[in-house]
Structure 1
Amino acid sequence: MTSSTSPTDPTQPLRRESGAFAMLAVDQREALRLMFAGDVAANSDGSVPAEVLAAVPDSTLTDFKLKATKILSPYASAVLMDRQFVWDAAMEQGVVAAGCAPIIAADQFVPGNGEVVTAQIIDEGVDFVAAKAQGAVAAKLLVIYREDESAQERVDMVVDFIGRCTAANLISIIEPVCKAPRHGGEWDWNAGVHAAAHELGSLGADLYKAEVPLKGLGTDAELLEECIRLGNAIASPWVVLSSGVAADDFPRAVEIACQGGASGFLAGRAVWRACVDAPDVVASLEADAVPRLQRLVEIVDRVVGNR
């Protein structure tokens, strides 16, 4: 799909002057708690012992998210935040930089089966109209795609979400993420990424947040072909997320994805993951995460801006 903008482009508030999306994500929840917990021995079902998670208080997550948002949002066109740990505090404390559009995560994650997120629902704790009044420009919904689960339920949820966004005058962003089938057995993750795009990419969301095909691996030509094919299934502008791609590999993946039709990124871990374990989080965010984000911004401005 083209990234060109017009006066009626609903996603314009999320873009840079170049027309590119350079968006930061700090909406990770229990996954972030696990990062702070470090390497731990899992239970037999793959889950993390409750006492390990309990050792990382909510305040640790909130503090990191507020610091990351304050330090990194001046370089981002938008920032994605969750209701559970950071939204209200960030909006009340004014840590989102001017010119950086706030996005509220409207998904509630359901853990189970040894996964931090095994399913999701629309978060009924998110008041879309109230979030708009607080300053939200957009809302995002994660959608778990499993080949053996109901397509109609996924479609209905996305349509419901888009309707809520429209009623509140919020930009709608969907984030399909492919996971292993419930019945187990062999499965093709990359095929699932494309299948999710075919199923959900034309339902009317304003922006599609996609996993990078091939997890960013393969030759440049192979990855470019995959990105072009993915974009052909999506009826809106689309961006890539960084989960599943090594942080040092993500800039290349972003560049090739944008060459293949993507219009930028909405990413968190590839920007700030190395800072979680730092003895001085602020210093690490400034020294490590800021340059990583600036590099990504330069890439999307150059590639998307010159299309």
Structure 2
Amino acid sequence: MSKVKMTKGKFTRIQNCSDSNGIIAAAAMDQRGSLKKSIEKARGTAVADDVLTEFKTIVTKVLTPYSSAILMDPEYGLPSLEARAPGTGVLLAYEKTGYDVGVKGRLPDLLPEWSARRLLESGADAVKILLYYNPFDDKAINSVKTAFIERIGAECAAVDVPFFLEPLAYDDNYDEKGLEFAKIKPKYVTAYMEEFSKDRYGVDILKVEIPFNVEFLAGSRAFKGGEAAYDKQAALGFFHSSAAVAKRPFIYLSAGVDDDVFRESLELAAEAGVGYSGVLCGRATWKEGVPVFGEKGGAALEEWLLDRGVKNIQALNEVLAKGGKPWYSAYGGLDNIEVVG
């Protein structure tokens, strides 16, 4: 493999988001609208923005000693970064949360007061973008989305900050939680991993879904009975086929599943021999603490996190230590990267 050139800023900042073994063991805390709704449901009343900041600060304080990085939003989360453990890398979300349901295509949009430069100036080691993407959608819709990602990639390159892209598969013709979409989801995840590995997008790390719906995997912890979409051998094959087309380091997101379900999926990835480079895990670690916070307040949440939350993230780290591969292994190892600039 020929040497890979990487700019100093990108290389250093990806390392800042990784542990000593080059594994990205990051906690995700950039939830906004969904988190607010969950807290309001638990409290039975509307909550102010500073309540979200309080929640994020407590999670950051308790969990970052066990994380290589924290993913945060600049809308509510910047004050919470002061509570992070020393040496914890920072990823900041650049996209608006959600999408306009009145416009076809789940088109992305950016936080209007922010730029890659401003995120960097606010302490970001990396910029994260979430993109709803159907590889088989109308070409006009996907042209808008791919141009959008090209612009973000160029913007990040201009200020030498890493670009983490989180594509999420969907198809408006299917129920994304249903059996029929589960059957075709592996094809969609594989297609977007191949597409956004292309140099034109400037993506440094792909943050991707487990390449199948675990709720339809026969024999898995998440399987609820009924008709399965795949068995274990098929699942191992999906890990292989999606990883084979990735030309960038990739990490898995937890997608809100329970912590034991996410760990089981990562163990399957390891069994498949997939070279994934870590995780960005949010709700799987702390979601059960939301009703605790909503009903009993911050002190109760901190107590819960110090027990259950820490156990969740330590168990996840054990799985990562066994199955994760350094991000630079995608490029043939550290010795095969030439840092320039």
The reply on whether 1:138 has 2:141 as its aligned counterpart is no
CA distance in 1, matches of 2:64, 2:130: 22
User: In the alignment, is the contact (CA less than 8 A) between 1:35 and 1:276 conserved in 2?
Assistant: yes
- Per mean C-alpha deviation after superposition, the further-off stretch among 125-134 and 98-107 is 125-134
Shift of 1:182: 6.3
Taking only the aligned residue pairs, the percentage that are identical comes to 26
CA distance in 2, matches of 1:166, 1:198: 21
The reply on whether 1:201 has 2:197 as its aligned counterpart is yes
User: In the alignment, is the contact (CA less than 8 A) between 2:239 and 2:274 conserved in 1?
Assistant: yes
Specify the SS of the correspondent of 1:227. helix
User: In the alignment, is the contact (CA less than 8 A) between 1:15 and 1:77 conserved in 2?
Assistant: yes
Partner residue of 2:280 out of 266, 276, 282: 266
User: In the alignment, is the contact (CA less than 8 A) between 1:237 and 1:263 conserved in 2?
Assistant: yes
Quote the residue 1:15 is aligned against: 18
CA separation of 1:179 and 1:38: change in aligned 2, threshold 3 A: farther
CA distance in 1, matches of 2:48, 2:256: 26
CA separation of 1:69 and 1:216: change in aligned 2, threshold 3 A: same
Partner residue of 1:95 out of 71, 75, 83: 83
Aligned CA-pair RMSD: 2.8
CA distance in 1, matches of 2:155, 2:194: 22
Quote the residue 1:214 is aligned against: 212
CA distance in 1, matches of 2:40, 2:238: 35
User: In the alignment, is the contact (CA less than 8 A) between 1:122 and 1:161 conserved in 2?
Assistant: no
Alpha-carbon deviations, 1:152-172, whole Å to 9, x = none?
112111111111111222111
Higher gyration radius (CA): 2
Shift of 1:103: 0.7
CA separation of 1:119 and 1:69: change in aligned 2, threshold 3 A: farther
How many equivalent pairs are there? Answer: 285
CA distance in 1, matches of 2:287, 2:306: 13
Partner residue of 1:106 out of 85, 94, 112: 94
The reply on whether 1:31 has 2:34 as its aligned counterpart is yes
Q: Which amino acid aligns with 1:250?
A: F
User: In the alignment, is the contact (CA less than 8 A) between 1:176 and 1:196 conserved in 2?
Assistant: yes
Quote the residue 1:299 is aligned against: 319
CA separation of 1:275 and 1:119: change in aligned 2, threshold 3 A: farther
Alignment of 1:136-215 (within 5 A): 136-146=124-134, 147-149=136-138, 150-181=141-172, 187=181, 188-202=184-198, 203-215=201-213
CA distance in 2, matches of 1:31, 1:260: 31
Relative to the length of structure 1, the TM-score reads 0.83
Quote the residue 1:85 is aligned against: 76
Shift of 1:105: 0.3
CA distance in 2, matches of 1:12, 1:110: 30
CA distance in 1, matches of 2:306, 2:319: 20
CA separation of 1:71 and 1:155: change in aligned 2, threshold 3 A: same
User: In the alignment, is the contact (CA less than 8 A) between 1:27 and 1:81 conserved in 2?
Assistant: yes
CA distance in 1, matches of 2:174, 2:269: 32
Shift of 1:183: 8.8
CA distance in 1, matches of 2:98, 2:212: 26
CA distance in 2, matches of 1:18, 1:215: 29
CA distance in 2, matches of 1:199, 1:285: 38
Shift of 1:184: 8.0
Larger fraction in helix = 2
Q: Which amino acid aligns with 1:180?
A: D
Q: Which amino acid aligns with 2:191?
A: A
Alignment of 1:228-239 (within 5 A): 228-239=240-251
CA distance in 1, matches of 2:190, 2:63: 31
CA distance in 1, matches of 2:94, 2:55: 20
Unaligned runs of 5+ in 1: 1-5, 40-51
Shift of 1:249: 0.6
